Amino acid sequence: MSTRSLLILPGDGIGPEVMAEVRRIIDWFGETRGLAFEVEEDLVGGAAYDMHGTPLADATMAKAQEVDAVLLGAVGGPKYDDLDFSVKPERGLLRLRKEMDLFANLRPAQCFDALAEFSSLKTEVVAGLDIMIVRELTSGVYFGEPRGIIEDGNERVGINTQRYTESEIARVARSAFELARRRSNRVCSMEKANVMESGVLWRQVVQEVHDAEYPDVELSHMYADAGAMQLTRWPRQFDVIVTDNLFGDLLSDLAAMLTGSLGMLPSASLGAPMANGRPKALYEPVHGSAPDIAGEGKANPCACILSFAMALRYSFDEGAEADRLERAVESVLAKGVRTADLMNAEGRAPASTREMGDAVLAALDASV
């Protein structure tokens, strides 16, 4: 009997429409590859706020803790801009990350050959690009205390705290070294050890973990600002980059854009192994809810589809099936199927979200 359980949280904006395509892909794997999934769907973000007055209901949080993997679409939208911080859609996502303790956020930035022309950089700089950013996701300035806006004399002061414990740094460093061993065996760690004590500790602990447990991996250190510069200058020098929560947020957006489209990039957020040996896991596209095009059937479902491929690889140990799905997406792009985000000035009509889903399904059919 199969026990692969998924909780699907489509969320807001384009989340539901891209997730509808992923559901068809999940069904395909059940019908054609004998990989059955028990799928439950629920609300997160603004959609949950509209229904329950909170961006993540306790019952949904409890379900997320039980399943093998959570698949999330996107959260947020202008309708919720004026809400209090504590109930903003983004809080739903942050609660999932924190309570599931998803400390390692894997953000691959891979340039598909067929899309190299969409990068803002020269084709020869980005062609063949394949880097993996490992972002710490449950600590740092996102969660550090004290935080808030306080009165100090006659003016207001905004406060956030960057705080990292040794064990928080060590565990995300291990994730990066493990991944590197399965790739090109190189890790570059980024912080601001020149101005921040937390950066000094970060650098020390990453080096200690390396020397004690991963001496075979090539390790380098870079200040995060220089790292941003090097990422645009010559991104292919990197294999795995490991960095903190805030720098990882910035650097992963930068790396994403090198590849030409945010609409193509998946992510995995992983925690410690559960009783069944599978890591706690949440998969989501790197793109946001794109409220400007929501509901129009224009969104690119590939990032969400590729997030499911990451779930196959990291949660269900189905690396060959993950490869199959990634190759299907690649072949569709190679044939010139393009959603609106991937159009250049050629004047062809773009494929809709559904048509892109159809094309990926057809490529999957052709793969067996």
Binding site for ligand IPM (CB under 6 A): 90, 93-94, 249
Residue 183: Cβ-neighbour burial (10 angstroms; 0-12, 13-18, 19+): middle
Q: Which of 27, 130, 225, 323 is flagged as catalytic?
A: 225
State the nearest-atom distance from the C-beta of 46 to ligand IPM, in Å: 12
249 an active-site residue? Answer: yes
| Cα atoms in the Cβ-side hemisphere of radius 13 Å centred on 113 | 6
Q: Of 249 and 326, which has the nearer Cβ to Mg ion?
A: 249
Distance of closest approach, residue 323 Cβ to ligand IPM, in angstroms: 25
Active site residue 79: no
Shortest reach from residue 187's CB to Mg ion, in Å? 22
DSSP class of residue 250?
Answer: H
How many angstroms separate the CA atoms of 330 and 321, rounded? 14
Distances (CA, A) of 133 to 9, 267, 276: 24, 10, 27
Which of 88, 192, 280, 298 is the catalytic position? 192
Of 344, 326, 222, the closest CA to residue 264 belongs to 326
**What residue 361 binds from Mg ion, ligand IPM, none (CB within 5 to 8 A, per partner kind)?**
none
Range in contact with Mg ion (rule: CB under 5 A) among 158-166, 206-214, 242-250, 348-356: 242-250
Nearer to Mg ion (CB atom), residue 244 or residue 249: 249
> Whats the size of the chain, residue-wise?
368
**Which of the following is catalytic: 27, 101, 253, 323?**
253
| Active site annotation includes 298 | no
Burial class (CB in 10 A: 0-12, 13-18, 19+), 55: buried
Task: Decide which of ligand IPM, Mg ion, none touches 68; Cβ closer than 5 to 8 Å per partner kind.
Answer: none
For residue 231, the minimal CB distance to ligand IPM (Å) is 16
Interacting partner of 93 out of Mg ion, ligand IPM, none (Cβ under 5 to 8 A depending on kind) = ligand IPM
Residue 365 bears catalytic tag? no
Query: Which of 249, 280, 298, 341 is the catalytic position?
Result: 249
The residue (of 55 and 357) whose beta carbon lies closer to ligand IPM is 55
Closest residue to Mg ion, judged by C-beta, is 249
Beta strands at 69-74 and 5-11: parallel, antiparallel or unpaired: parallel
Query: Which listed range, 12-20, 212-220, 223-231, 244-252, lies at the site for Mg ion (CB under 5 A)?
Result: 244-252
Q: By CB under 5 A, which span of 2-10, 25-33, 233-241, 249-257 interacts with Mg ion? A: 249-257
- Cite the DSSP H helix spans in the chain: 15-33, 46-52, 58-66, 89-99, 123-126, 166-181, 197-213, 224-233, 245-258, 302-314, 319-334, 353-366
Q: Closest separation between CB of residue 248 and Mg ion, Å?
A: 9
CB contact at 8 A, 289 and 253: no
* Cα separation, 227 vs 198, whole angstroms: 17
245 versus 331: smaller Cβ distance to ligand IPM: 245
For ligand IPM, the nearest residue by Cβ is 90
Closer residue to ligand IPM (CB): 94 or 125? 94
Closest separation in Å from C-beta 358 to Mg ion = 30
φ/ψ (deg, to 5) at 196: -125, 130
Q: Is 283 a catalytic residue?
A: no
Print burial letters for 136-146: b (CB count within 10 Å at least 16), e (below 16): bbbbbbbbbee
Residue among 12 and 249 whose Cβ is closer to Mg ion: 249
CB of 239 vs Mg ion, minimal distance in Å: 22
- Going across the sheet that includes 279-285, the strands are 38-41, 5-11, 69-74, 279-285, 266-273, 104-110, 130-136, 240-243, 186-191, 218-223
Rounded Cα distance between 48 and 264, Å, is 26
Q: Which is nearer to Mg ion, 285 or 357 (CB)?
A: 285
CA distances in angstroms from 46 to 12, 90, 261, 292, listed in the order given: 6, 9, 25, 15
Beta-strand relationship, 240-243 and 186-191? parallel
Q: Which does 90 bind (CB under 5 to 8 A by kind): Mg ion, ligand IPM, none?
A: ligand IPM
Q: Is 249 in the site for Mg ion (CB under 5 A)?
A: yes
- Catalytic site positions: 142, 192, 225, 249, 253
Interface residues toward Mg ion, by CB under 5 A? 249
